[in-house]
Amino acid sequence: MNSQARPYLTRFSQFAWLASFWFVVHFIWATLLPVVIPAVVRGYADRGLIPLDELGTRLGLVLALGAVVSAVLQLTIGFVSDSSESRYGRRKPYILIGALASTAAVFYLVEAPGYWHLVLAYMLVQVFLNTASVPYQSMMPDLVPERYHGRAAAMMGIFDLTGKLSGLIVAALVISGVGIGAVSAAGDSLSFAALGVVYCVLLLGLAFVVLVKSPNYPVVLGAGFLRIRFGAGDATSIRQILREYARFEFRRNPEFVKLAFSRMAILLGYYTFIPLVYYFCEANLGLEAEDRWMAAALLGSIILGAVAGNLAGGYFSDRIGKRRMIFMGMAATILFMFPVIFATDIMQAIYFGAGLGVGWGAFIAADWAFAFTLIPKERTARYMGVWDMTSLAPQMVAPLVAGVARDYLMKSGMAAEATAYQLIFTFSIIYFVVGLVILGFVREYRLGLNEEPQ
């Protein structure tokens, strides 16, 4: 039985370096989801490798299949991490293994020569990056006392948002006026391979920061680098392991379940919007090929606003309540969503996008802090895997539904391309409202107020 005192982190600088790996995770997703993969799929269509009239469906299929693989991995790796013993703690071995394997997967993705290679590469990136990120996320509730959850979650949000912003800037420089990787001329593939190098340097560098600076917890000296023990003894049967794998005790944590469904509904709206922004800017805002980087500028304005909203949301959620902060943030998001959807030029969309981002940033910080508070401390990684499912499930459903809807509206003659995007994005607001309705049933109460740093 481990008797090590929990090494609490309470200082702003500690939150910063612990949250730093979140930068590269979101740097990668920010380049892949809204910019790189849509542009690659568009390039395959332009070269005749896939049918042009199936563009939206093929894009949704890539994202959905990758999310399905990731969903299984998310739930499994959290269970395995919680059942692990190591002299370095339960989380660090998985961060190291996942970061190293992710470097190989991203190089395969950036050089994918065809559509199904892209699908496979994206699945591998999901598997390996999540092998690192699920246990990594669990370090925050493992090591940060409850009274600091809002500020720690805000720091996670800052690295989330700055990672996304940096990723969009880099992706814009790579794709501006040219194709991507194997779908473009040979010379252009070198610039996309350079993006893969950036991925790898950030993955290994920031993983090193977290692995070196964070305390080992819990320490099991006789376990070596990694040992997995699913039960009380080594003779645990497969049936017992599966029974434990499926035991989440959600009935004992109803507020967490309701919060998870609320977040899932809100992120259905997010993943309806984000993957189609690249096409929306071309069809609705009149961007030509040489202006494609402006699509990233729109997303960048949203993220810059979200940085400010995130700082405010993390600070005030510890004072006025996390649920109230989520409501306030999403109200601002919905308010500014309409002028973005019906903007007539890119600068107008960028202007209102910044306001949308402020609300979204406040939502991110308060929602994460609320989850940290409700997660059972002895099953942290498993519940973080479930928490990540609230993001992955929308990734499976929303892009595919939105892509199929886009193709159907256009093929049937019911709407031109620009109108189709406006209809689809308006529907994303309905998802936001549903999420807030569910949130209204979540009770907020403070747990473990006597928890003190030791």
Q: What pLDDT is attached to residue 327?
A: 96
Q: Are 85 and 220 in contact (CB under 8 A)?
A: yes
Please report whether residue 205 resides in a domain. yes
Instruction: Say if 65 falls within a structural domain.
Output: yes
CA separation for the pair 87, 226 (Å, rounded): 8
Cα 54 to chain center, whole Å?
Answer: 26
6 falls within a domain: no
Structure tokens at 84: 């692990």
Which residue carries 């040992």 as its tokens? 227
Spatial separation of the C-alpha atoms in residues 240 and 172, rounded to whole Å: 50
pLDDT at res. 80 = 87
How far is CA 183 from its chain centroid?
26
Which letter does DSSP use for residue 4 in this model?
P
Q: How far apart are CA 51 and CA 368, in angstroms?
A: 40
Q: Are 329 and 313 in contact (CB under 8 A)?
A: yes
* pTM, rounded to two decimals: 0.74
Please tell me the distance from the alpha carbon of residue 166 to that of residue 126, in angstroms, as a whole number.
Answer: 20
**Nearest-angstrom CA–CA distance, 130 and 388:** 10
pLDDT at 19: 92
Place of tokens 């995130």: 310
**Tens digits of pLDDT across the chain (454 residues):** 455 677 888 888 898 999 999 999 989 987 887 677 877 787 788 887 888 878 878 888 888 888 788 878 887 888 888 888 899 988 999 999 999 999 989 888 877 788 888 899 999 999 999 999 989 988 888 888 877 888 888 888 889 888 877 887 776 666 554 433 333 433 345 556 777 788 889 999 999 999 999 988 888 887 788 888 776 555 456 777 667 666 667 778 899 999 999 999 999 999 898 878 878 888 888 777 666 667 778 888 888 898 889 888 888 887 888 999 999 999 999 999 999 999 988 899 999 999 999 999 999 889 988 988 888 766 777 788 788 888 878 877 888 888 888 888 998 888 888 999 999 999 899 999 999 999 999 998 754 443 443 3
Determine, yes or no, domain membership for 449.
no
In angstroms, the CA 233 to CA 229 distance is 7
Q: Shortest CA distance to 192 belongs to which of 270, 264, 109, 131?
A: 109
Q: Has residue 247 been placed in a domain?
A: yes
Containing structural domain, residue 260? 12-439
Tell me, what CATH number does 38's domain have? 1.20.1250.20
- Provide DSSP, 25-85: HHHHHHHIIIIIHHHHHHHHHHTTSS-GGGHHHHHHHHHHHHHHHHHHHHHHHHHHHHTEE
Is residue 5 included in any domain, yes or no? no
- CA distances in angstroms from 80 to 170, 226, 423, listed in the order given: 35, 11, 43
Determine, yes or no, domain membership for 291: yes
For 33, 223, 240, 279, 345, the CA distances from 273, given in Å and listed in that order, are: 11, 46, 42, 11, 18
Examine residue 453 and state whether it is found in any structural domain, yes or no.
no
Number of independent structural domains in the chain: 1
Cα separation, 363 vs 337, whole angstroms = 14
Using CA atoms in the order 431, 437, 440, 442, what is the torsion angle rounded to 10 degrees?
A: -60
Largest CA distance in the chain: 68
Terminal C-alpha separation, the chain = 19
Write out the DSSP string of 237-282.
Answer: -HHHHHHHHT---GGG-HHHHHHHHHHHHHHHHHHHHGGGHHHHHH
Residue 269 has a pLDDT of 94
Amino acid letter at 118? L
